[in-house]
């Protein structure tokens, strides 16, 4: 789950990373109360989860009393289609230099990877693409609690040594907060010291519970409903509903629909060991989406009991046509049950998707 900038800064601050003085406001008038502590010159930053926020007009500068007008302007905007509900008002820093630091997970070496660039800021991605050497990277053993000095020297190159403790604090936050990504861009030097001018933190969805996060905000309401049943669920905008078991097989079913030039309405992975109850909920959930003309159920596996699945489909009793492809235990009984109630059970996923195309068009 992605945290917003102000949430990430609160966490970074607890780990000893200096962040600019700031306050969160939810209405333009609130800005006035914070001006004395923040000084005359402030930055207003929309708290929206979009990339390229600054370029999209989500960051504005203001001086003194005009800050209220600027805040009103920002609250009225949509940043890449996302309405602005919260603004982080911060003191304006006297920036000497902008660096880039980021910690992510390197799939290839299966270790944290720390990235550092001497030229941080909004152009970092372009700079990195133009010149690979612009970004230095070191991998750190997950068994270590901090970045060892020799790796830190390699990472920083000629950059000031005072950045090292901040980067180590970021590393600890990355480890202890179960982060998939912890990033400071820009990490700035000022006459008063080093600051995290921006902050990005993505928490591993599999660790939300132990991080005390009850609700995954990245999910829509229907997606959260699906999560309660143990489904992985994503809404798309086509007409063919899809239910499968296993992420790969379900994705592959979606791809096959596209291959035959159809459009999938959703992705729903029922997970392992689908029983009658779960299948029924899955079918009803997909059938409840507007615009679904037909549902393809594609289940495969040694443990999936076809008679259970068939009973679930029959119990769901939905309006859109349900086309079934399944293989597993009690396949014959499943076929008999479905046939008795007028459902079609097909031999292969190709055949099932082609049949669905026929209904959808």
Candidates 338, 232, 215, 337; CA nearest to 285 is: 232
Indicate the SS3 state at residue 75: helix
CA 223, 227, 233, 239 torsion: positive or negative? Answer: negative
Residue 100 annotated among the catalytic residues of the structure: yes
Check residue 110 for interaction with other proteins (CB under 8 A). Answer: yes
Q: Work out which of 29, 255, 277, 317 binds other proteins, going by CB under 8 A.
A: 255
User: Which residue, 248 or 290, has its beta carbon nearer to other proteins?
Assistant: 248
Nearer to other proteins, 140 or 338 (CB): 140
Coil/strand/helix, residue 357: helix
308 a catalytic residue: no
Judged by CB under 8 A, the residue of 20, 112, 186, 334 near other proteins is 112
Q: How far apart are the C-alpha atoms of 103 and 113, rounded to whole Å? A: 6
Half-sphere exposure of 148 (CA within 13 A, CB side): 9
CB of 356 closer than 8 Å to CB of 239: no
Q: Which of 180, 293, 315, 318 binds other proteins (CB under 8 A)?
A: 180
The size of the interface with other proteins (CB under 8 A), counted in residues, is: 48
By CB under 8 A, tell whether 301 contacts other proteins: yes
When asked if residue 147 is in the footprint of other proteins (CB under 8 A), the reply is: no
Q: Is 210 in the site for other proteins (CB under 8 A)?
A: yes
Distance between CA 146 and CA 301 in Å, rounded?
A: 44
Single out the residue of 33, 64, 217, 259 in contact with other proteins (rule: CB under 8 A). Answer: 259
Per DSSP bridges, beta strands 344-346 and 321-329 are parallel
d(Cα 46, Cα 48) in Å, to the nearest integer? Answer: 6
* Footprint (CB under 8 A) of other proteins, residues 216-235: 232, 234
Cα–Cα dist 280/338, whole Å: 14
Toward other proteins, which CB reaches closer, 138 or 159? 138
5, 90, 183, 308: the catalytic one is 183
Which C-beta is closer to other proteins: that of 35 or that of 226?
A: 226
**Residues within window 85-104 making contact with other proteins, judged by CB under 8 A:** none
CA dist 261 → 240, 249, 299, 360 (Å): 11, 18, 22, 11
Burial class (CB in 10 A: 0-12, 13-18, 19+), 347: exposed
Q: Please pick, from the candidates 13, 190, 252, 330, the single residue that binds other proteins as defined by CB under 8 A.
A: 252
Least distance (Å) from other proteins to the CB of residue 94? Answer: 32
Determine, following the binding rule CB under 8 A, whether residue 120 of this chain makes contact with other proteins. no
Rounded CA gap, 95 and 298, in Å? Answer: 57
Query: Is 202 in contact with 12 (CB distance < 8 Å)?
Result: no
Stretch that binds other proteins, among 24-32, 34-42, 149-157, 203-211 (CB under 8 A): 203-211
What is the 8-class DSSP label of residue 242? E
Q: What residues contact 129, with CB distance under 8 A and at least 6 apart?
A: none
Q: Which stretch binds other proteins (CB under 8 A): 11-19, 62-70, 149-157, 205-213?
A: 205-213
Residues of this chain, 303-342, that bind other proteins according to CB under 8 A: 303, 327-328
Q: Which is nearer to other proteins, 10 or 232 (CB)?
A: 232
The catalytic residue positions are 100, 183
Residues engaged in binding other proteins (CB under 8 A): 105, 107-108, 110-112, 141-143, 175, 178, 180, 204-207, 210, 232, 234, 236, 244-252, 254-259, 264, 267, 269, 272, 300-303, 327-328, 348-350
């Amino acid at each position: 789950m992605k945290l917003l900038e102000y949430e990430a800064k609160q966490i970074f601050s607890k780990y000893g990373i200096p962040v600019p003085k700031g306050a969160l406001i939810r209405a333009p008038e609130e800005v006035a109360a914070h001006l004395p502590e923040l000084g005359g010159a402030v930055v207003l930053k929309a708290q929206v989860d979009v990339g390229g926020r600054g370029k999209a007009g989500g960051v504005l500068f203001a001086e003194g009393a005009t800050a209220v007008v600027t805040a009103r302007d920002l609250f009225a905007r949509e940043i890449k289609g996302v309405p602005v509900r919260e603004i982080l008002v911060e003191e304006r820093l006297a920036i000497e230099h902008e660096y880039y630091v980021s910690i992510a997970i390197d799939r290839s070496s299966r270790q944290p990877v720390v990235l550092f660039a001497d030229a941080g800021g909004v152009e970092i991605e372009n700079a990195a693409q133009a010149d690979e050497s612009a970004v230095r990277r070191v991998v750190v053993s997950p068994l270590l609690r901090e970045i060892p000095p020799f790796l830190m020297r390699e990472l920083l190159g000629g950059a000031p040594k005072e950045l090292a403790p901040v980067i180590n604090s970021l590393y600890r936050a990355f480890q202890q907060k179960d982060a998939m990504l912890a990033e400071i861009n820009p990490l700035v030097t000022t006459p008063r010291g080093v600051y995290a001018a921006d902050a990005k933190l993505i928490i591993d969805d599999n660790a939300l519970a132990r991080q005390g996060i009850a609700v995954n905000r990245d999910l829509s309401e229907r997606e959260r409903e699906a999560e309660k049943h143990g489904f992985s669920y994503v809404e798309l905008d086509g007409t063919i509903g899809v239910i499968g078991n296993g992420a790969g097989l379900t994705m592959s079913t979606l791809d096959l629909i596209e291959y035959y030039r159809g459009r999938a309405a959703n992705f729903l992975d029922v997970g392992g060991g689908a029983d009658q109850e779960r299948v029924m909920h899955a079918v009803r959930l997909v059938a409840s989406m507007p615009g679904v003309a037909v549902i393809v159920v594609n289940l495969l596996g040694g443990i999936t009991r076809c008679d259970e699945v068939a009973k679930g489909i029959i119990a769901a009793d939905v309006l859109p046509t349900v086309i079934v492809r399944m293989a597993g235990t009690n396949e014959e009984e499943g076929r008999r049950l479905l046939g008795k109630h007028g459902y079609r059970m097909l031999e292969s996923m190709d055949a099932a998707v082609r049949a669905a195309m026929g209904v959808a068009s």
